[in-house]
């Protein structure tokens, strides 16, 4: 064959228009259902892979990445680690990626290496990540946060290494290592763990007003970055959880005392964010302190609340829904070292289910040791929650969405760069030949895709015991 006779492919590569470098164009969102006319197994797909649209943003499925602190930022800015960490997840078909707890003020970080969005110089580092995720047709949001009295601490592995080396001192990072031991803010001057954590200062009314402005400014930066949604962090013993909880909030002004006063700051912040942000807005909260075994019922005999629990959570969630919060992300614990958490598969699901049954006009996200495709799908199929958010399982098994589709017998779109690894899922059937026995593959042979590999089915653990703090579930 002469050079002039070579078989030439006349089409240019499909690429993302306007991206700053070559990026292959995805045929459709990764992790979204493939058309049922080509993949009949998708005619009645599992609910886990049913898309969800919130305020015009379409999430391709219901398996979402929860925010996970990486303690790998540089003065609040996202780094190459975050691009690789989050970009890798976006390539694996998750319905949503959420950037970790991101402080709206410097002293709102958990560690000096936390993510932050308190100044404009931090915008570009996040925009690079968001542009990439959008380039591959993904959905990405951010969790805005303030660590409160749990701030100025070391990264977990730094603490672990020190303890393994014999250290037995406090967990407060000093100024010489980038900490702010004398500016740890809280609703009241009550340490999270006396002798280990900081002795916080009670936030002044002026500080509270400046904090609300900081949230508002962070929202403007989120607009410039292009995030698809915002989540407000009100869980795990951080500042907004501290405000709603009578154990950590003993203020005597308008932000303390009664239940209405304790929830005032979270509602004020939520309203100002909602007023400035027309895209989806989520709120993460801790549904309970897990203190019934230690302190007795959430509500005392005289009608006062002794600690934060599901009854107050339900009331707060309805108020958040009334303000326009679209989804409540239901976690638990983190505000009192006396907590006794009953851990097991789906152990926090009863709280999400309770909210789903008792609060109007809000979507519900479930978390807590969700590690199996059938387990995740059952949660959605049974109406116990609208989405599931995974964290540690993401780090162990980043391909969970695609593997779940395979296990549940449906076909979703893999990244074009990775489709050769998923041919056992991408089996096409000829709709005009009901007697077809030879399967048409998605571009490669069964041997290349290892279709013949046999795997033992995953076995689910026993259902969790329902904690007595959850009524009526």
What CA–CA distances, in Å, run from 7 to 3, 4, 12, 13? 9, 9, 15, 17
Question: How many residues are there in the chain?
Answer: 473
Helix (H) or strand (E) holding 58: strand 57-59
Residue 43: is it exposed, middle or buried by C-beta count within 10 angstroms (0-12/13-18/19+)?
Answer: exposed
Q: Domain 45-408 class? A: alpha beta
Question: What is the pLDDT of the chain when averaged over all its residues?
Answer: 92
How far apart CA 413 and CA 357 sit, in angstroms, is 33
CA 54 remoteness from chain centre = 16
Catalytic member of 39, 197, 238, 347:
238
Confidence band, pLDDT 50/70/90 cuts, at residue 427 = confident
Over residues 123-144, the mean pLDDT reads 98
How far apart CA 414 and CA 399 sit, in angstroms, is 10
DSSP 14: P
* 30-55 pLDDT tens trace: 999 999 999 999 999 999 999 999 99
Is residue 403 predicted with pLDDT exceeding 90? yes
Helix (H, G, I), strand (E, B) or coil at 86: helix
Q: Where are the beta strands (DSSP E) in 309-396?
A: 327-331, 363-366, 387-390
How far apart CA 410 and CA 371 sit, in angstroms, is 18
Helix (H, G, I), strand (E, B) or coil at 367: coil
CB 198 within 8 A of CB 191: yes
- The pLDDT score that the predictor gives to residue 460 is 43
Kindly give the interhelix angle for 400-408 and 373-381, rounded to the nearest 10 degrees: 70
Q: Under 8 Å CB-to-CB from 432, ≥6 apart: which residues?
A: none
Q: Is the pTM of this model over 0.85?
A: yes
What CA–CA distances, in Å, run from 417 to 35, 89, 326, 368, 381? 20, 14, 34, 32, 31
Helix (H, G, I), strand (E, B) or coil at 97: strand
Domain boundaries, the chain: 45-408
CB 439 within 8 A of CB 428: yes
Q: Is 255 a catalytic residue?
A: no
How far apart CA 195 and CA 186 sit, in angstroms, is 17
* 272-320 pLDDT tens trace: 999 999 999 999 999 999 999 999 999 999 999 999 999 999 999 999 9
How far apart CA 407 and CA 411 sit, in angstroms, is 10
CB 408 within 8 A of CB 387: no
Is residue 10 predicted with pLDDT exceeding 60? yes
- The pLDDT score that the predictor gives to residue 442 is 45
Q: Under 8 Å CB-to-CB from 150, ≥6 apart: which residues?
A: 110, 192, 197, 237, 238
Is residue 249 predicted with pLDDT exceeding 90? yes
- The pLDDT score that the predictor gives to residue 430 is 54
Question: Strands 281-286 and 185-186, how do they pair?
Answer: unpaired
């Amino acid at each position: 064959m002469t050079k002039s006779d070579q078989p030439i492919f006349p089409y240019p590569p499909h690429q993302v228009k306007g991206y700053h470098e070559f990026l292959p164009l995805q045929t459709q969102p990764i992790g979204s259902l493939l058309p049922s006319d080509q993949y009949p197994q998708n005619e009645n797909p599992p609910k886990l892979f049913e898309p969800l649209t919130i305020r015009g943003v379409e999430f391709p499925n219901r398996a979402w990445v929860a925010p996970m602190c990486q303690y790998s930022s540089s003065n609040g800015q996202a780094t190459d680690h975050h691009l690789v960490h989050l970009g890798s997840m976006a390539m694996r078909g998750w319905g949503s990626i959420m950037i970790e707890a991101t402080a709206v003020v410097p002293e709102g970080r958990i560690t000096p290496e936390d993510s932050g969005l308190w100044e404009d110089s931090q915008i570009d580092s996040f925009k690079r990540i968001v542009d990439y995720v959008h380039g591959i047709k993904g959905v990405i949001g951010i969790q805005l946060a303030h660590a409160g009295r749990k701030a100025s601490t070391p990264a977990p592995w730094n603490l672990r290494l020190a303890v393994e080396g014999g250290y037995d001192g406090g967990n407060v990072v000093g100024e010489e290592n980038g900490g702010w031991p004398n500016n740890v803010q809280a609703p009241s001057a009550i340490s999270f763990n006396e002798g280990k954590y900081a002795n916080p200062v009670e936030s002044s009314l002026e500080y509270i007003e400046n904090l609300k402005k900081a949230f508002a400014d962070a929202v403007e930066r989120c607009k410039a970055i292009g995030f698809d949604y915002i989540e407000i962090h009100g869980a795990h013993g951080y500042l907004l959880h501290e405000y709603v909880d009578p154990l950590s909030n003993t203020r005597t002004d308008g932000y303390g005392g009664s239940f209405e006063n304790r929830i005032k700051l979270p509602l004020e912040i939520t309203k100002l964010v909602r007023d400035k942000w027309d895209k989806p807005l989520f709120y993460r909260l801790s549904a309970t302190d897990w203190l019934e075994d230690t302190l007795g019922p959430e509500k005392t005999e005289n009608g006062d609340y002794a600690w934060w629990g599901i009854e107050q959570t339900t009331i707060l969630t309805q108020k958040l829904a009334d303000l326009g919060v679209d989804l409540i992300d239901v976690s638990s614990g983190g505000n009192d070292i006396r907590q006794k958490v009953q851990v097991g598969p789906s152990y926090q699901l009863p709280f999400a289910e309770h909210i789903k049954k008792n609060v109007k006009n809000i979507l519900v996200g479930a978390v807590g040791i969700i590690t199996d495709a059938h387990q995740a799908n059952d949660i959605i199929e049974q109406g116990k929650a609208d989405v599931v958010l995974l964290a540690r399982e993401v780090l162990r098994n980043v391909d969970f969405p695609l593997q779940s589709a395979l296990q549940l017998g449906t076909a979703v779109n893999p990244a074009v760069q990775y489709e050769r690894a998923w041919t056992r899922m991408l089996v096409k059937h000829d709709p005009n030949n009901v007697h077809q026995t030879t399967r048409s593959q998605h571009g490669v042979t069964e041997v290349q895709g290892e279709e013949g590999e046999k795997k033992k089915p995953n076995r689910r653990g026993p259902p969790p015991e329902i904690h007595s703090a959850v009524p009526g579930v």
